[in-house]
Every structure is written in structure tokens, then in C-alpha cells.
Amino acid sequence: MLHFLGQLYGPFFDLHNWETVITSGNDWLIIFSLVMIECLLSVDNAVVLAAQTQSLPTQKQREESLFYGIWGAYIFRFIIIGLGTYLIHFWEIKVVGALYLAYLVLQFFTRTRVKHTRKLVSDRKRRILPLFWSVVLQIEMMDIIFSVDSVLASLAISSNPVIVLIGGLIGILAMRGVAEVIMKLMQRIPELEPMAYILIGLIAVKLFISIPAIDIEIPAALFGIVVLAAIVITLIIHVIRKRRRAQTKQDEATKSTESTES
């Protein structure tokens, strides 16, 4: 058993391997490519993370949940890269992830805001963990699910686990930045939250059809275009609604003035 673990994780503790990677320009070019792949493959992850943090009551807690989540993601990435050659057998995790995401979408669209608030209050009484740590746990679960594709793609480019680890760690940090941007936009533009859950539904389908029994892969670049298009459409809807509300207020003010004068 110890010999097996040594084979899997020994390269991570080889100082000569780290020195070679850090001082090699070619290796840094590979790392840059891996970071780009990580960001492309993690567009859907960023959307899910940003949506999950919305159940927390304050902006500070939302940001902290992503901070704690990133350390869990780093630890898991270290473990999963060592097991990279065996990941192909773990397609079942995609099925679990797809079902879980579909559950999140169903839960969001089948309750009103009042029910949502009541559910959060009642959940505090029944929940084993506090709300904050429950969200952090959900973030870790999503990291596990979405790491499969990015690690497999990275190992296909470089078999050196140190290169894959550095690329993955930088990529995770960049992806968290994307998640924080989306999270802040959701606070300013309420329409982004339902849009995010529609995208989560698409992500669930994307995950499920990628299992070996179906084997249909939606290119990450194509999904990134879908996300951008959805954001643009949502922004247009937000602007239209904002103008309508402003016009309605103006009409009401005009009517009030006219009634006062008469």
C-alpha cells in the first residue's frame, strides 16, 4: 500500500522535479496552457458556485465561503491528480453531479421568495451544519465533480504531476475570481440569478451526456459562448425592465401632480 501511494504521490515531493519545472520556460508555457484550459472548463463551475453562495445572507459570508472552498479545492486537486490515471473509472460521479444540479434547479424554480426565506429559517433548525458551512460543503462537492474533466484534460497535455498541479492551482484561483465577479453582478442585477439556474440546468445535461454510455461532449468554448450570450440577453432584459419601472414611476408622479393641481 505504501509503495502504491509512493508511486502516485512521490513526484510531488521530488525537489529536483519542482526545480526543473520552475526554471523551465517550456514548462511554464505548458502551465499557461493548462490555466487557460482550467478557466474554459470551469466557466460552468463558476456559475454554479456564484449561484450557491446566494443562500448566504451577507456579502462577507459569500466571499468567505469561496475563500474556504478554494483551500478544499487545492487539497482535493492534489489528491485527484495523484489518482489521475484512475479517473476514467469514476464517470459515476458525473451522474451524481448531474442529478444534484437538476435538484438545485428544480428547488429554485418551484418555490417563491417567501417560501425560500421560510425554508432557510426552518433549515437552520434541522440542519446538522450551520448554513455557512453547508454552503462551503456544497462548493467542495461541486469542485470534486468539475475537477474530473479539467484534470483529465491536463494529464492529456502533460504527464508530469507537478506541472498539472501548478496549472490547476493557478486555474482554480482564476476561476474563483470569475465566480466572485458573477456573484457581485447578481447583487446588482437580480435577473442574473434565475438565468444562472437555467444555465445550471444546461450544465446538468452537459455533465450527464458526457458519461461513457452516451459519450457526447459539448466543447468548453461553445458552452462559454452560451454563457456569454445568456448574460448579454439577461442584461438587455434588466435594462428594459429598469426603464419600464422608471417610466412607471414618472407616470405615477405626473398623475399625482395633476391630481394635486386639480
210, 94 Cβ separation under 8 angstroms: yes
**Which pLDDT does position 3 carry in this prediction?**
67
**Which pLDDT does position 240 carry in this prediction?**
93
**Which pLDDT does position 117 carry in this prediction?**
40
pTM over 0.85: no
**Which pLDDT does position 220 carry in this prediction?**
63
174, 35 Cβ separation under 8 angstroms: yes
CA 196, CA 213: separation in Å to the nearest integer? 28
**Which pLDDT does position 1 carry in this prediction?**
66
Task: Provide the mean pLDDT of the chain.
Answer: 75
Can you give the pLDDT of all 262 residues of the chain as single tens digits? 666 666 666 767 778 878 888 888 777 887 877 776 666 556 666 777 777 787 788 888 888 887 888 777 778 777 777 776 555 556 776 787 788 778 878 887 886 544 444 444 445 445 577 888 888 888 787 777 767 666 766 665 676 777 777 877 887 777 777 777 776 777 788 888 788 788 878 878 887 887 878 888 777 667 768 877 888 898 899 999 989 988 888 888 887 777 776 6
Q: Considering only CA atoms, which of 203, 60, 182, 73 is closest in space to residue 137?
A: 73
**Which pLDDT does position 114 carry in this prediction?**
41
Residue type, 31: I
State the residue for C-alpha cell 444540479: 101
**Which pLDDT does position 236 carry in this prediction?**
93
Please, what's the b/e burial string for 88-98 (b: 16 or more CB within 10 A of its CB; e: otherwise)? eeeeebbeebb
> Angle between the 131-157 and 92-109 helix axes, to the nearest 10 degrees?
140
**Which pLDDT does position 237 carry in this prediction?**
92
- What are 31's three cell numbers? 502551465
**Which pLDDT does position 38 carry in this prediction?**
66
**Which pLDDT does position 118 carry in this prediction?**
41
